[in-house]
Amino acid sequence: QSKGNARRDGSTGVTFADVGGLGNTIGEMMQVVEFLKDPKQFASLDAKPPKGILLEGDPGVGKTLIAKAIAGEARVPFYQMAGSEFVEAIVGVGAARVRDLFQRARVNAPCIIFVDEIDALGIKRAEAGVRTNEEREQTLNQLLSEMDGFTPDSGVVFVAATNRADLLDAALMRAGRFDRKIRILRPDEQGRREILQASSIHARKHRLGSDVDLAQLAKDLPGLSGAELGNVLNEAALEAVRRDGAEVTQADVYNAVDRVLQGIRRPSLPDS
């Protein structure tokens, strides 16, 4: 079983063990898993079933991975689209895509619908400026009405992700639509250690040498996202391949750190 490989049951094959640094958000995620495993029983427990979950956090902190892990743990299908895929030039196309997506989900419930970059679609009408148009309005309205249309035991959980929850349209944020908002932070040292360990397991074909100290690496990389930490290990593996090494050494890792940090800093350098 490997990260992101769809299984025969249509699920993602991703589990919480693949996600590092979940910290105390795990309880909330487990509740969603329990619901998806048996929506009717969950409803009969008088517990409030989750409907809409908004994952907010910087790029690369694992929002998509977490949504996939919830589906994988519950072994339910996962329907993913990017907000930008709903924004079309022709009026009515985006709304039809929203309708199709929710229709497919209802037929295959319990399941998760995941919409990444929800801000592409659900940005505040004022902020959208010239991009405000009839097509976008129709698409957003269709999404709102689909979100409102769930019955508590329908077994469909709508998960959306954004880097900019502050830009989202108030209609989308109204109570009852996203009943759970979970902020995904950049990992702390322990989280970074977990992520590096999880990533190094997936990169097993590039064996890490015994001199590679992931705990020290986690200490040395404050502020990096999960995606950036993954990049460090990927780059280190490439470095080992380039010099024809049998395994990844500590020197490969720190050369990779230099390259990844340069790549992160470059965009913020002032123009000269």
Site for ligand ATP in 203-262 (CB under 6 A): 226-227, 230
Q: How far is the CB of 20 from ligand ATP (least distance, A)?
A: 4
Spell out, one character per residue from 145 to 174, where the chain touches ligand ATP: x when CB under 6 A holds, - when not: ----------------x-x-----------
Q: Which residue is nearest to ligand ATP (CB)?
A: 226
Contact call for residue 122 and ligand ATP (CB under 6 A):
no
CA dihedral 149, 150, 154, 160 (to 10 degrees): 130
Amino acid at 244: D
Residue 44: Cβ within 10 Å count: 10
CA dihedral 179, 138, 167, 23 (to 10 degrees): 30
Contact call for residue 263 and ligand ATP (CB under 6 A):
no
Contact call for residue 63 and ligand ATP (CB under 6 A):
yes
Spell out, one character per residue from 31 to 60, where the chain touches ligand ATP: x when CB under 6 A holds, - when not: --------------------------x-xx
Contact call for residue 185 and ligand ATP (CB under 6 A):
no
Q: How far is the CB of 123 from ligand ATP (least distance, A)?
A: 15
The residue from 11, 12, 19, 50 that contacts ligand ATP (CB under 6 A) is 19
Q: How far is the CB of 201 from ligand ATP (least distance, A)?
A: 10
d(CA 206, CA 215): 18
- Residues in contact with ligand ATP by the rule CB under 6 A: 19-21, 57, 59-65, 116, 161, 163, 195, 198-199, 226-227, 230
